[in-house]
Chains A and B, each alone.
Chain A
Amino acid sequence: MSAPKRKFWQRLGVYLGLTLTAAIILFPLYIAFSTSLKTPSQVFVQPYQWVPDPVTWENYPRVFQLVPLGRFLWNSVVQSTMTTLGVLITSSLAAYAIVYINFPGRNLIFGLMLATMMVSGEVTIIPNYLTIHRLGWVDTFWGLSVPFMATGFGIFLLRQFFMQVPKELYEAATIDGASRLRYLLTILLPLSRPALGTLGVYTFLSTWNQYFWPLIVTNRTAMRTVQIGIAMLRDSEGDAWHSIMAGVTIVTVPAIVVFLLFQKQLIRGIVGGALKG
């Protein structure tokens, strides 16, 4: 075989391997989507129908009648937005003080904040549930989001970024008479957009995916988040997999769109979170 010909076959093999791997990874998502296009009888037919024929879109409007899916989506949007804003505000304020103000006990405070990264939510969930219960925050957005509005990771991430901003900028601004707060709001935060974006996207997605916490601090159907809502749909619909998979698709598509749009920020956040240890 001539050299260019061999190269062609080699390359074809490589792309076949890549495509096959991609197909295996996407397989469950394909199963979810294709099932959502089936009628009940197609779901229960044997052998398994790999390509739905005929295709029906009826499950999509129907699933909104089975459970308040729109409400679930809204709840998750509010919960994730509140948590993300909270994390951005508390982290930038705290990181600012740690980097720019030389106060006694600075290292101790920062060390304690870092230490919170070693305490996982499963360990604190019982007292936190009791706290939320006592505050009367069960079935509220406060209960869903306030406990996660400050994180050691967020403070750490922004501190690292703030430290890279030249100190001269701060000195120049304060000589010009800008107050500390004004410098933070008008100069430092606009400069920190990449870091804030990373932290924001990362926080939003991890809140969106929460399961254990929303499961225990919400009781009313109207306050359930999407993750719990989908599990509820599965419980209530039993074998109606065509409806359940329509719900799954509706919930997964926005997550994938966000992933595609913010891939860079997300990857930075995740790999940065690696330092969590």
Chain B
Amino acid sequence: MSDRAAASRQLAPPVEGERKRKSQWRSLLAASGYLAPAVILLGVFTFYPLFRSIYLSLFETDFMARPILFMGLEQYRELLSSPRFWESLRVTVLFTLYTVPVGIALAIPVALMGNMQIKGITFYRTIFISTIAVSTAIASVIWQWMFSPTVGVMNDILRTVGLDPIRWLQDPKWALISVAITTVWKDLGLNVLFLLAALQGVPDELYEAARIDGARGWTLFRSVTLPLISPTVFFLMVVGTMDAFRSFTQVHIMTQGGPLRSTSVLVYSIYRDAFINFRYGFASAQAVTLFLILIALTLIQFRIGERRVHYQ
């Protein structure tokens, strides 16, 4: 009896292990049916093209994007030594500087107003975030009309207040700023929405305690509100920067990169090289560069963001 028990104990592990392996297989089989649609689609339209972009960037391609000549990192070297690339990178960085800090700085007072606890505030809040319902394409067409140099409303306003009219989108000095104004307006709703959510998370007791200590107005904002919404502000900075680096629609509709390439942002340059000049390999090198920039921004968000920003 005891012998038998000992024997079965000895036999048990392999049998159990086999059963476990079997049930693992069965669960994998069961899961794969549910996972297949998502896995296939993400594989074909996200993972494959990511690696294909990297692969293509190492080749000279023909007009059908067939790789014909292995170039190694030659196209990256061409990219890094091309003034056009640096020009479009400079334009992209400038565009980011014009849109992100300004957009957030404008959104904070609007969100503070929307956070007041008074009658009818929901109505105003809805208006404050309403630009999220407007697409970038629509915003671009509307502002292009407002920027019309002779008959547009913006120059009418300038004339009314006694200033000289500006050739907004036609002037290399003003074109990028004009596209940035459009973007700031379009993104205002989104920025306000996030800031409102953050402000609603600030507990009332904190304000009360600060008020008892004598904090009012600006001091209250600086010492209580701002530190508490700083994670959101930081988040909006990073996401806004990524969006600015990815922007294309505004430029394609409003300026086609001009005048004098003054609005030729990175993605617009990818578009031109790939779909107008059919230099797929060279365009892929730019796309991979963009990918690396975006990854770097994500890492910055995770690393620095967690440390520097005040969390409650």
Which of chain B's residues have a CB closer than 8 A to the CB of A256? Answer: 130, 133
- Pairwise interchain contact B27-A101, C-beta atoms closer than 8 A: yes
A178 contacts partner chain B, Cβ-Cβ < 8 Å = no
* Residue from B50, B56, B290 with most neighbouring chain A CB atoms (10 Å): B50
Closest residue to A273 on the B side, CB-wise?
Answer: B239
Which of chain B's residues have a CB closer than 8 A to the CB of A93? Answer: 34-35, 37-38
Which of chain A's residues have a CB closer than 8 A to the CB of B185? Answer: 25, 28
- Pairwise interchain contact A105-B28, C-beta atoms closer than 8 A: yes
A208 contacts partner chain B, Cβ-Cβ < 8 Å = yes
Main secondary structure of the interface of A (DSSP, over half): helix
Question: B163-179 toward A: CB 8 Å interface, digit per residue (1/0)?
Answer: 00000000000000000
Question: A248-268 toward B: CB 8 Å interface, digit per residue (1/0)?
Answer: 100110011011100100110
- Pairwise interchain contact B34-A124, C-beta atoms closer than 8 A: no
Give bound CA distance, A47 to B302, whole Å.
52
Give the contact stretch, choosing among B93-101, B187-195, B211-219: B187-195
A185 contacts partner chain B, Cβ-Cβ < 8 Å = no
- Pairwise interchain contact A123-B145, C-beta atoms closer than 8 A: no
- Pairwise interchain contact A123-B126, C-beta atoms closer than 8 A: no
Q: Which of B145, B239, B294 contacts A244 (CB 8 A)?
A: B145
- Pairwise interchain contact B30-A271, C-beta atoms closer than 8 A: no
Within A81-125, which residues are at the interface with B (CB < 8 Å)? 86, 89-91, 93-94, 96-98, 101-106, 109, 112-113, 116, 118-120, 122-125
Which of chain B's residues have a CB closer than 8 A to the CB of A131? Answer: 44-45, 48-49
Which of chain B's residues have a CB closer than 8 A to the CB of A116? Answer: 42, 46-47
A31 contacts partner chain B, Cβ-Cβ < 8 Å = yes
Known pairs A21-B128, A118-B294, A120-B294; A270 contacts B190 (CB<8 A): yes
B230 contacts partner chain A, Cβ-Cβ < 8 Å = no
Which of chain A's residues have a CB closer than 8 A to the CB of B239? Answer: 274, 276
Which of chain A's residues have a CB closer than 8 A to the CB of B46? Answer: 116, 119, 124
Closest residue to A270 on the B side, CB-wise?
Answer: B193
A169 contacts partner chain B, Cβ-Cβ < 8 Å = no
Least Cβ–Cβ distance between A128 and chain B, in angstroms: 5
Known pairs A116-B42, A116-B46; A215 contacts B159 (CB<8 A): no
Which of chain B's residues have a CB closer than 8 A to the CB of A46? Answer: 150-151, 156
Which of chain A's residues have a CB closer than 8 A to the CB of B193? Answer: 267, 270-271
Known pairs A94-B34, A231-B253, A263-B126; A28 contacts B248 (CB<8 A): no
Least Cβ–Cβ distance between A197 and chain B, in angstroms: 17
Known pairs A93-B34, A96-B34, A259-B132; A251 contacts B41 (CB<8 A): no
Give bound CA distance, A122 to B284, whole Å.
10
B interface size (C-beta, 8 A)? 91
Give the contact stretch, choosing among A52-60, A142-150, A187-195: A142-150
- Pairwise interchain contact A123-B288, C-beta atoms closer than 8 A: yes
* Residue from B50, B52, B141, B253 with most neighbouring chain A CB atoms (10 Å): B141
Known pairs A22-B124, A104-B28; A94 contacts B253 (CB<8 A): no
B223 contacts partner chain A, Cβ-Cβ < 8 Å = no
- Pairwise interchain contact B150-A103, C-beta atoms closer than 8 A: no
Which of chain B's residues have a CB closer than 8 A to the CB of A51? Answer: none
A interface size (C-beta, 8 A)? 93
B233 contacts partner chain A, Cβ-Cβ < 8 Å = no
Closest residue to B236 on the A side, CB-wise?
Answer: A274
Closest residue to A104 on the B side, CB-wise?
Answer: B24
Instruction: Give me the interface of A with B, judged by CB distance under 8 Å.
Output: 11, 14-15, 17-19, 21-22, 25-26, 28-29, 31-32, 35, 43-48, 50, 86, 89-91, 93-94, 96-98, 101-106, 109, 112-113, 116, 118-120, 122-131, 146-150, 152, 155, 180, 205, 208-209, 211-212, 215-216, 227-228, 230-231, 234, 241, 244-245, 248, 251-252, 255-256, 258-260, 263, 266-267, 270-271, 274, 276-277
List 19 additional A-B contacts (Cβ < 8 Å) besides A103-B28, A122-B246.
A21-B113, A21-B124, A31-B153, A97-B30, A98-B35, A104-B28, A116-B46, A116-B47, A122-B270, A124-B46, A127-B49, A128-B49, A131-B44, A211-B252, A231-B137, A267-B129, A270-B190, A274-B239, A277-B302
Q: 8 tightest A-B contacts by CB?
A: A127-B49, A259-B133, A48-B156, A124-B49, A150-B41, A97-B34, A94-B38, A127-B52
Instruction: Give me the interface of B with A, judged by CB distance under 8 Å.
Output: 24, 27-28, 30-31, 34-35, 37-39, 41-42, 44-50, 52-53, 56, 65, 110, 113, 116, 118, 120-121, 124, 126-146, 148, 150-153, 156, 159-160, 185, 188-190, 193-194, 197, 235, 239, 242, 246, 248-249, 252-253, 267, 270-271, 274-275, 280, 283-284, 287-288, 290-291, 294-295, 298, 301-302
